[in-house]
Chains A and B, each alone.
Chain A
Amino acid sequence: MNNNHKVVVYVRLKDGVLDPQGVTIRKALGQMGYDEFESVKTGHFFELEVKGDAKNIDSRVKEVCSKLLVNPIIERFEVEKI
C-alpha cells in the first residue's frame, strides 16, 4: 500500500515587501497593451511527497517551512494537501 501524501506549499512575499520581478512583469504587460493588469505579484511553490503517518504531516511540513523553505522575515506560506 502506498501511503505517500502530496502536499503543496505556496510561498508569497509578505505585503509591503518590494517585489521587483512582479513590478517588471506588470510594466511589460502594460507595454504589450494589457493595461487592465494593475498589479503582478510573484511567488513560488513546492510540491512535496511525504511518507508516513498522515496525522504528523501538518506539523512536519510547517517545521520544514520555517527551517528552510520559507524566510519568515519576507515571506508567508500556505499549505495545500492534494
Chain B
Amino acid sequence: MKVGIVTFPGSNCDYDAYAAVKFVIKEEVEFLWHKSDNLLNSDLIILPGGFSYGDYLRAGSIAKFSPIMDKVISFAREGGLVIGICNGFQVLTESGLLPGALIRNKHLRFNCKFVNLRVENNNSPYTNVCEKGDILNIPIAHGEGNYYNFEGDIKKLEDNGQIAFKYCMPDGTFSTEANPNGSVNNIAGITNEDGNVLGMMPHPERAVENILGSTDGIKVFESVKRFLNSKKTAGVN
C-alpha cells in the first residue's frame, strides 16, 4: 500500500499520520504538497488534521481550491480511497465529497480528549477488520466538529450505512454525555455513498501505540490494507 498525505499550509497532523503509516503500519508513505498536482500513484490519500489556511472563512473552505485538491477530487470520484481526519473531514464536506457540514461545537469549547466510538458499519474499506458494535478508543481535538445535516439527509446516511462511527459511552450506549460536540445522532465519521471516502473528526493516527494511550486507530489503517489486498487478489484471479 502506498499512502499520500496532503500538507496544506496550516496542516499540523501530517507528520503524525506519516509516522503512523511508516513506523507502525510499516507501509510506503509520501507527503503531497498542496501546490503539487501529482498524487504519486498513492492507493490511499489522507487529508490530515490542522488548521489549513488558518481556518479562515470556514474550516476547510479555502483548502478545497488547492491544486492538489483537484486531483484528490477526481481520484475520489473514480473510486480512489480518501480519508479526511478532523480538518481533513471539514475539507471533504466543503469540497462536496461528503454531505453535510461541520459547525462550531455546541458548547463552543475546543475539545481535546479520548472518546469512545462505536463502529456502525464494518462493511467499508476503513472498518472491515472491526465487528459492528466494536468500541474504539480514539482521541479528538477540535473546536468545529459538530456534524450537521438536514433531517432527511441524516436518514439517508443512516439507511445507506454511511455512518462509520458514532460517539458512545464506554458500554456502547448513546447519550448526550457521550457526544463531545453536539453532532446530530452522535455522528463522528461518515463515508460517501460508494464508501471510498471517509471523513472522521477523531484522530486514528494518534492512537497507534500503547504509549499514546490506545492502539485502536491501527484498525482503520489495517482495514484499508486488507481492502486493497483483497482487491488485488480479486484482480489477479
* Residues of chain A from 40 to 82 with CB closer than 8 A to chain B in the complex: 68-69, 71, 73-74
CB of A73 within 8 A of CB of B149, answer yes
Residues of B at under 8 Å CB distance from A?
57-58, 61-62, 65, 93-94, 100-101, 103-108, 146, 148-149, 182
A73 to B60, CA, bound (A): 14
A interface size (C-beta, 8 A): 10
Expressed in whole angstroms, the Cα–Cα distance for A20 and B111 within the complex equals 15
Q: How far is the CB of B2 from chain A (nearest CB, A)?
A: 32
Contacts of B182 in A (CB 8 A): 18, 20
Q: Quick one: closest A residue to B60, CB to CB?
A: A71
> Which of A21, A68, A73, A74 meets B57, CB within 8 Å?
A68
Q: Which residues of A contact B148 (CB under 8 A)?
A: 17-18, 73-74
Complex: A45 Cα to B62 Cα, angstroms: 17
Q: Is the CB of B101 within 8 A of A71?
A: yes
Look across to chain B and name the residue whose beta carbon is closest to the beta carbon of A69. B57
Bound complex: CA A73 to CA B152 (Å): 13
Interface of B is mostly: loop
A69 and B182 CA atoms in complex are apart in Å by 25
Residues in chain B near residue A4, CB distance under 8 A: none
Residue in B65, B103, B108 whose Cβ sees the most chain A Cβ within 10 Å: B103
Is A24 among interface residues, defined by CB-CB distance under 8 A?
yes
B101 surroundings in chain A (CB, below 8 A): 71, 73-74
Listed by A's residue number, 25 A-B pairs whose Cβ atoms lie within 8 Å are A17-B103, A17-B148, A18-B106, A18-B146, A18-B148, A18-B182, A20-B104, A20-B105, A20-B107, A20-B108, A20-B146, A20-B182, A21-B104, A68-B57, A68-B61, A68-B65, A69-B57, A71-B58, A71-B94, A71-B101, A73-B93, A73-B149, A74-B101, A74-B103, A74-B148
